[in-house]
Amino acid sequence: MAAVWGKNEDATRRLRDSRRIAYPRTNILSCVTYLPPVAHSLDAIQRFYKLQGAADEAIDAIAERSLDREKTWLDHLQTHKRIDIVDRFVLEEYLASPDYYQMPLTEAELAQQLERLRRLLLEDNYTLCLSPEAINICFEVRGDEVRIRSDRRNRGVPRAGRISTVTIREPDTASIFEREFWSLFRQTEREFKDKGAVIAWIENRVRIFAANRNARFEQRYDVALLFPEDDRDQARGFALELQRQGLRVWLDEWSVAPGRYWQLSLEGSAPEIGCVAICIGNAGQASAGSVADVEAALSQLVRHDAISLTVVMPGASAPQIGSDLLPTRRIVDLSGEDPAAAASTLKVVVHEMSRSRED
């Protein structure tokens, strides 16, 4: 189940070589549905790529590129103006459930994003407006050039080489988009063009939604099952047996929306999960590396505080799990039990662990 991201030296070198981007010597007018990408939390960016399995060198290169792009962005503002108009209601949806490419942000990461945004708003040449009008097409006007961008809200990270921006260098077309920009600017209320009022509105929404999230988190799942991919069939059958015993089970193929990474979905659901079980079957025991992959993915879920254990599933051969691999986790060996009895045993263990957590 663990994700794999490019770890070779060529990928890291390409990341470092692509760091510098040039802004045109002209003002920039943009209409988008998201806050400036240069305000993203560095901690969130690094955590995201770590979850994807990126090597440390690649993660460092990504962080350097992010900082370099912020510097280039600020350098441009020393001589030219930039006005961003953001769809207010889409932004409100984001603040209710902030994420980075579908990875839920921690409160600290969101706070870091807002702090970076505050620093940007200190620049005299930068203006952020929150429009009451829907922005159906994200675009950026740079003189005689217009860039039409994809909507980043609630999207996964695009694969390398995929089209996410279309650039048109044609004065008449740029003029049409510029008129659209100024029309949206005029329709934006005065208080949503004021920097102080804008950041105060954003911070107020963050406080409201944070309080609502903390109030509504309830345990929706008794147990989440993680497993090596080769043990999927065995884990699915065990999950069905657990459901027959009345347990609410988180299983990636049941609980993750199509197109989303299971790690990000699990992290988003972590406050609603009572217990996480790494399930090992015959295939997993034959490959310590596949077990380690799942273990590594679980360890990277920083929002996860549920109690976890290792389960040797019914029908598996006698466990061969070394203490060096899972040194601190309770091991529940169900290999010698039939599926119904094994599910009943695990149900008791899960309820015991849930009660101990509450205490």
Query: Element (H or E) spanning 47, and its range?
Result: helix 42-51
CATH classification at residue 204: 3.30.870
CATH classification at residue 308: 3.40.50.10140
Specify which of 21-30, 135-144, 309-318 reaches the highest per-range mean pLDDT. Answer: 135-144
Tokens for 63, please give them.
Answer: 């962080």
Burial 214-250 (b: 16+ CB within 10 A, else e): eeeeeeebbbbbbbbeebbebbeebbebbeebebebb
**Mean per-residue pLDDT for 306-318?**
77
Single-letter residue type at 237: G
Q: What is the pLDDT of residue 320?
A: 53
347 vs 294, which has greater pLDDT? Answer: 347
In a shared domain, residues 154 and 21: yes
* % of the chain exceeding 90 in pLDDT: 39
Q: What's the rounded Cα separation, in Å, for the pair 166 and 187? A: 27
In a shared domain, residues 140 and 166: yes
The answer to whether residue 11 is domain-embedded is no
The answer to whether residue 207 is domain-embedded is yes
* % of the chain exceeding 70 in pLDDT: 75
Query: Element (H or E) spanning 283, and its range?
Result: helix 282-286
Q: What is the pLDDT of residue 284?
A: 55
Q: What is the pLDDT of residue 283?
A: 66
In a shared domain, residues 138 and 43: yes
In a shared domain, residues 252 and 212: no
In a shared domain, residues 187 and 314: no
CB 129 within 8 A of CB 193: yes
Q: What is the pLDDT of residue 157?
A: 58
Last residue of a domain, one of 175, 196, 216: 216
pLDDT in tens, 122-131: 999 999 999 9
Rounded (5°) CA angle 283-285-288? 110
Q: What's the rounded Cα separation, in Å, for the pair 206 and 114? A: 10
Query: Which DSSP letter does residue 270 get?
Result: G
Instruction: Tally the domains of the chain.
Output: 2
Residue with tokens 């459930």: 97
**Mean per-residue pLDDT for 155-181?**
83
Q: What is the pLDDT of residue 176?
A: 96
Whats the size of the chain, residue-wise? 359
Last residue of a domain, one of 158, 193, 216: 216
In a shared domain, residues 189 and 143: yes
CB 299 within 8 A of CB 258: no
The answer to whether residue 37 is domain-embedded is yes
In a shared domain, residues 309 and 186: no
How high does pLDDT run on average in the chain?
A: 81
In a shared domain, residues 195 and 227: no
Q: What's the rounded Cα separation, in Å, for the pair 23 and 65? A: 15
Closest CA to 339 of 314, 359, 312, 357: 314
The answer to whether residue 89 is domain-embedded is yes
The answer to whether residue 32 is domain-embedded is yes
In a shared domain, residues 293 and 147: no
Q: What's the rounded Cα separation, in Å, for the pair 333 and 337? A: 9
Q: What is the pLDDT of residue 254?
A: 87
Last residue of a domain, one of 199, 216, 233: 216
In a shared domain, residues 114 and 231: no
The answer to whether residue 2 is domain-embedded is no
CA dihedral (43, 126, 182, 21) positive or negative: negative
The answer to whether residue 310 is domain-embedded is yes
The answer to whether residue 10 is domain-embedded is no
pLDDT in tens, 225-278: 988 888 888 999 999 999 998 999 999 888 876 666 777 777 777 777 888 888
In a shared domain, residues 159 and 278: no
139 vs 268, which has greater pLDDT? Answer: 139
pLDDT in tens, 43-85: 999 988 887 778 889 899 999 999 999 999 999 999 999 999 9
* Host domain of residue 177: 16-216
pLDDT at residue 345 above 60? yes
Single-letter residue type at 62: I
In a shared domain, residues 197 and 246: no
